[in-house]
Amino acid sequence: MVKDLQSTVALHNGVHMPWFGLGVYKVTDQSEIVEVVSAALKHGYRHIDTASFYQNEEGVGKGIRDSGISREDIFVTSKVWNDEQGYEETLEAFDNSLKRLGMDYLDLYLIHWPVARKFKETWKALEKLYREGRVRAIGVSNFHVHHLQDLMKDAEIKPMVNQIEYHPHLTQEEVHAFCKKEGILLEAWSPLKRGILLDEPVLIEIGQKYSKTPAQIILRWDLQTEVITIPKSSNVERLKENADIFDFELTSEEMKQISSLNKNDRVGKNPNDLDQK
């Protein structure tokens, strides 16, 4: 049961990951990211998601240190970017991420996109880092079912998480069902579709019933679909508002209404269209 910001789910290796977290994509001003991360942690967040591509790992690390919260109580994710992939390259990228964060381990490390001819070697590097205890869990991001199947043919360790674009206009039912069957946790990036969904009449109407915003309704829907969610915000009041979703529960009918908004419509790239050279 997801009761609060500290509620966790057990990954298939037994590591506990908070259901709700803070995404920090596009927050590149270092003083701003320090303030946002520190404020989120002081408000009760315990899960921060960054990536080398975001160019803000230094600020994330400083925000964590400035918060006064023990490192062991915070779940930190980073990702290996496309031009860092390959076996040796990934090991180096991981070291660089740790240095920028000022940490000696990560809680979760992900392959950011399925770069063809490289993601299998990249995964071998993640398996090595995991076996060495330098990262507590490993996973992927933006993987379709066929990418996962291809990876798992040769993998010794199954991914623990698949972080994908997921929101009421892109419910990714095939990926969701496959991951559930395989014991891979799904995690949503861009859960609010970069704000596009906030004018959706169905969400506004359901929100009025609970005195909640459309954003809060979507984030509650994420959790009730058993999807980890990491809305991003650089506004401290907004991060508090995003997290105010634990005092109500959507009915099964409302859940269906929201899911039926699906249009298979993305705001990010389709992983199949990624420049894979």
239 Ramachandran zone, left/alpha/beta (phi>0; psi -120 to 50) = alpha
Closest CA to 187 of 217, 147, 227, 220: 227
Of 54, 109, 130, 166, which is the active-site residue? 54
Which secondary structure element, helix H or strand E, spans residue 182, and what is its range?
Answer: helix 173-182
The span from the CA of 108 to the CA of 268, in Å, is 22
Strands (E), 135-182: 138-141, 161-165
Q: What sections of 81-226 are H helices per DSSP? A: 87-101, 119-131, 145-154, 173-182, 201-210, 214-224
163 DSSP β-pair partners = 141, 187
39 token code pair:
């404020």
Which residues are CB-neighbours of 129 under 8 A, at least 6 positions away? 91, 94, 109, 135, 138
DSSP state of 135: B
Return the half-sphere exposure (C-beta side, CA atoms, 13 A cut-off) of residue 140. Answer: 27
Per the annotation, the verdict on 54 as an active-site residue is: yes
The span from the CA of 85 to the CA of 122, in Å, is 6
Closest CA to 67 of 236, 191, 189: 236
The span from the CA of 233 to the CA of 242, in Å, is 9
48 DSSP β-pair partners = 22, 76
Question: What are the catalytic residues?
Answer: 54
